[in-house]
Structure formats: structure tokens, C-alpha cells
């Protein structure tokens, strides 16, 4: 019976995706507005993606939310991972928006005729947050605006990200700090060069056995004429 229900659900999804013009395998159970996705994504119940660009295979757990962000392929984003948007000036006499924001987010009152403080920080490419490919973010993580999390990075459960995180590093805590590197710099160089996440899915699938050992994977790259091109 379970199998029948699952089959019916996936059939319904397929039709829904086709009608909405979404890529195959899109299972969108949360809010998904003005956003694009690469396919085979699961966005769990209560999640929210607004004005985001999400790569192939990336999934979001329950109540995780991002906006104005770019998230790469093959990312595993757990539950309650939230991009924290907006900031107040801590060096002004008052931190209240009446003193620096002209419209105060739609409020009927303001003491300022112009905006005197930049409430939103952006990455250098203009996003609220950029997450690379194959990034794992543990549960209950807050990411402050304007940061970049590199390819292959890991963010520990319960962290508060206040800085950019370089590729293939594990960071954690509040504020999140460097914990350790996942691989040595030669290995990271090879991963960044081959960009396996951009390979055809058929190639990734055919060689998936190499993905459980970095030395095996690097050995495979050496013998693969196409991999480092
Ligand atoms: C980050 C994480 C992957 C590290 O795992 P690991 O490689 O096995 O590392 P260790 O457990 O050996 O910990 C390494 C160090 O990081 C610290 N650390 C581990 N988790 C941490 C966390 N959440 N916050 C802060 N520091 C953390 C450890 O205390 C240890 O510090 P020490 O070297 O001073 O003793 C893991 O702790 C984690 O947070 N996983 C997320 C789990 C999760 O959210 N699951 C939800 C479903 S996906």
C-alpha cells in the first residue's frame, strides 16, 4: 500500500512540475517564490525560498529559509537554518529605525526624511548570501547577511555564521570559528579544479564509488582525461 501511495505521489509531482514548468524531481513543500531550481531538490514543509537560485540536488530541511541568495548544487541544508536579514546601527544614539529609516518598513511614523543606514549587507556579487556546491549545513544554524560559504564547507549544528567560510573547511560555534580542514590543500585544489558537481549526472553516478575516499577520488582524477579539463 505504501508503495502505491508513494507511486501516486511521485506521479502527482511529475504532473505538477510539468504544469508549473519546473525541472524534474522538484519536491517543493514550502514557500518557493521568484526562485529557480536545478532539479531533484527537496524543500521541506515550512521552508522558504524567495528570490533564490538553487542548484541541482540541493535540499532544505523544515523551516529553513533564504532569500536573495544563490545556493549551489548538492548542498545538504538541515532544518532551522536561517539567513538572518537586516541590521540596526549599534553606534547611533538609538538603534530604532524611526531615527534612520525613511519608511521604517511600512510603519506610519519616521523621524528621518532619508535613509541614513544600510540595513542589508550584500556579498560582492550582490546576493544576501552565497553558498557554494556540496556544502553541508547542520541544524539550527543562523547565517548573517553578506557572507559566502565556500564549496565543500561544513557548518556545525547550532552555529552562528558571521564571516565568510573558505572551501572545504569545517566551522562551528557562536560565532562560528574554524574547526579543521576536511582535506589537504592539494586535494582541495583538485576538487576545486575538477568541479565534479558540474559533470553530467550520468558520469557522477557511474563513478560514485570513488566518492567515499579522497585518495581514491584524487587517483581517479589523475587517470580521467576529462576530469581536470
Ligand atoms: C561539525 C561536525 C560535522 C563535526 O564532526 P566531526 O568531524 O566528527 O568533528 P568532532 O566531533 O571530532 O569535533 C571537532 C571539534 O569541533 C567541535 N564541535 C563539534 N560540533 C560542534 C558544534 N556543533 N559547535 C561547535 N563546535 C563543535 C568539537 O567539540 C571538537 O572540538 P575540539 O577539537 O576542541 O575537541 C558535527 O559536530 C556537527 O555539527 N554535525 C551536524 C549534525 C547535524 O546538524 N545533523 C542534522 C541533520 S543533517
Under the banding of pLDDT at 50, 70 and 90, the label for residue 224 is confident
Q: Is the CB of 161 under 6 A from ligand 1?
A: no
Report the C-alpha gap between 161 and 211 in whole angstroms: 28
User: What pLDDT, in 10s, does the model give residues 158-178?
Assistant: 999 999 999 999 999 999 999
Nearest ligand 1 atom to alpha carbon 158: 23
CA distance 33 to 223: 43
Question: How far, in Å, from the CA of 108 to the mean position of ligand 1?
Answer: 46
Whether residue 225 is predicted with pLDDT greater than 90 in this model: the reply is no
Alpha-carbon 54 to chain mean position: 7
* 118-132 residue pLDDT tens: 999 999 999 999 999
For residue 156 and ligand 1, the question of a CB distance below 6 A is answered with: yes
Instruction: Tell me, in angstroms, the distance from the centre of ligand 1 to residue 127's CA.
Output: 28
Ligand 1 binding pocket includes 78 (Cβ within 6 Å): yes
Mean pLDDT of 76-94: 97
Q: Which helix (H) or strand (E) holds 36?
A: strand 36-37
Q: Which atom of ligand 1 is nearest to the CA of 139?
A: 44
Between the CA of 156 and the centroid of ligand 1 the distance, in Å, is 5
Closest C-alpha residue for ligand 1 atom 39: 156
Q: 2.60.120.10, 2.160.10.10, 3.40.50.150, 1.10.3710.10: which CATH number matches 17-85+127-182?
A: 2.160.10.10
Report, as an integer, the average pLDDT of 38-54. 97
Ligand 1 pocket: which of 79, 135, 138, 162 to mutate (most atoms within 8 A of CB): 138
In order of 26, 30, 52, 168, the CA distances from 20 in angstroms are 10, 15, 17, 36
Domain ranges of the chain: 17-85+127-182, 89-119, 184-229
| Ligand 1 site, residue 13, Cβ cutoff 6 A | no
Residue 213 Cα to ligand 1 middle (Å): 20
pLDDT at 227 over 80: no
**Ligand 1 atom index nearest CA of 136:** 48
pLDDT value at 226 more than 90: no
Q: If you take atom 11 of ligand 1, which residue's CA is the nearest one?
A: 156
Is 173's C-beta closer than 6 angstroms to any atom of ligand 1? yes
Q: 12: burial class by Cβ within 10 Å (0-12, 13-18, 19+)?
A: exposed
Average pLDDT of every residue of the chain: 94
pTM exceeds 0.85, yes or no: yes
Catalytic residues: 88
Percent of the chain, pLDDT > 90? 84
Q: Measured between alpha carbons, how far is 114 from 116 in angstroms, rounded to an integer?
A: 6
| Rounded mean pLDDT, 211-223 | 96
CA-to-CA dists, residue 143 to 47, 102, 131, 133, 149, angstroms:
15, 27, 11, 17, 10
Ligand 1 centre to CA of 10 (Å) is: 35
Amino acid at each position: 500500500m505504501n508503495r502505491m501511495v508513494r507511486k501516486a505521489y511521485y506521479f502527482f509531482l511529475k504532473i505538477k512540475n510539468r504544469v508549473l514548468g519546473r525541472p524534474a524531481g522538484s519536491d517543493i513543500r514550502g514557500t518557493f517564490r521568484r526562485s529557480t531550481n536545478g532539479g531533484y531538490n527537496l524543500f521541506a514543509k515550512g521552508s522558504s525560498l524567495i528570490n533564490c537560485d538553487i542548484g541541482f540536488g540541493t535540499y532544505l530541511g523544515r523551516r529553513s529559509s533564504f532569500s536573495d541568495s544563490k545556493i549551489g548544487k548538492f548542498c545538504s541544508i538541515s532544518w532551522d537554518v536561517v539567513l538572518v536579514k537586516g541590521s540596526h546601527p549599534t553606534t547611533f544614539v538609538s538603534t530604532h529605525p524611526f531615527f534612520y529609516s525613511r519608511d521604517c518598513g511600512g510603519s506610519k511614523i519616521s523621524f528621518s526624511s532619508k535613509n541614513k543606514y544600510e540595513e542589508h549587507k550584500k556579498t560582492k556579487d550582490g546576493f544576501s548570501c552565497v553558498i557554494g556546491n556540496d556544502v553541508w549545513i547542520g541544524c539550527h544554524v543562523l547565517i548573517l547577511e553578506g557572507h559566502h560559504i565556500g564549496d565543500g564547507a561544513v557548518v556545525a549544528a547550532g552555529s552562528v555564521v558571521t564571516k565568510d567560510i573558505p572551501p572545504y573547511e569545517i566551522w562551528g560555534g557562536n560565532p562560528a570559528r574554524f574547526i579543521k580542514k576536511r582535506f589537504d590543500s592539494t586535494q582541495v585544489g583538485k576538487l576545486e579544479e575538477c568541479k565534479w558537481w558540474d559533470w553530467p549526472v550520468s558520469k557522477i553516478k557511474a563513478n560514485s564509488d570513488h566518492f567515499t575516499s579522497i585518495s581514491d577520488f584524487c587517483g581517479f582524477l589523475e587517470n580521467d582525461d576529462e576530469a581536470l579539463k
